[in-house]
Amino acid sequence: MDKIYLNNLGAEASSSGDFEKAEKYFRQAFELSPDDPLICFNIGFTLVKKGEKEEAVKWFDKALACASAGPDTEADMPERGKLALDCGLACFEASLYGKAEEYYLTASEAGKENSEYWNRLGVLKFVTEKISDARDCFERAVLIDPDHIDSWYNLADAYDELGLKDKADAARKQFLNLENRKEVRP
């Protein structure tokens, strides 16, 4: 069996909730390709789902190390950034907020400063009750991409928390405009 086939079997098992089987397949794929960042990430993601958070973080770190080990070109930057962003999201969902923030910082350093990056960092700041920082992140996200609907929604919530009712209403209106445009499209 090759690593792609094993990785796909692991992904199927993971999507059906069989994390034991998923981990088995991902580890078999890892044996064939120990420097593949995606396989390392998949093992970490599976371990997070199984509740093995500390071990998962080691695999996320390995995934990023493998992604950084290749040629350091501009073209590689977005992939490393996306991987770091995904590691951050997995940690955020597992309530590993400190690690999530570290991975988001890595995503930023890798040139992944886009609206999704700022929105995810804003959500992390919001959940950890750093509302002013969250607002700044959401404002940056909508500045980069005025059509980033989730950022407008989150920005409205941040403004509400900060007592900025007029700004919250304006952000919510923009969110609803984008939502209505989305529904009208075929």
Do 1-112 and 130-186 show the same overall fold?
yes
pLDDT value for 80? 83
Distance between CA 8 and CA 23 in Å, rounded? 12
For residue 146, what is the DSSP state? Answer: T
User: Looking at this protein, which amino acid is placed at residue 74?
Assistant: E
> What are the φ/ψ torsions at residue 135 (nearest 5 degrees)?
-55, -45
Given a cut of 90, whether residue 70 has pLDDT beyond it is no
Q: What is the mean pLDDT of the chain?
A: 91
Distance between CA 132 and CA 159 in Å, rounded? 9
Pick among 3.40.50.740, 1.25.40.10, 3.30.750.24, 3.40.50.1000: CATH of 1-112: 1.25.40.10
Given a cut of 50, whether residue 173 has pLDDT beyond it is yes
pLDDT value for 68? 81
Domain residue ranges in the chain:
1-112, 130-186
Distance between CA 64 and CA 59 in Å, rounded? 9
Tell me the pLDDT tens digit for each residue of 88-127.
999 999 999 999 999 998 888 765 567 888 999 999 999 9
Kindly report the pTM of this predicted structure: 0.81
Tell me the pLDDT tens digit for each residue of 27-55.
999 999 999 999 999 999 999 999 999 99
CB atoms within 10 A of CB 128: 15
Quickly name the fold that domain 130-186 has: 1.25.40
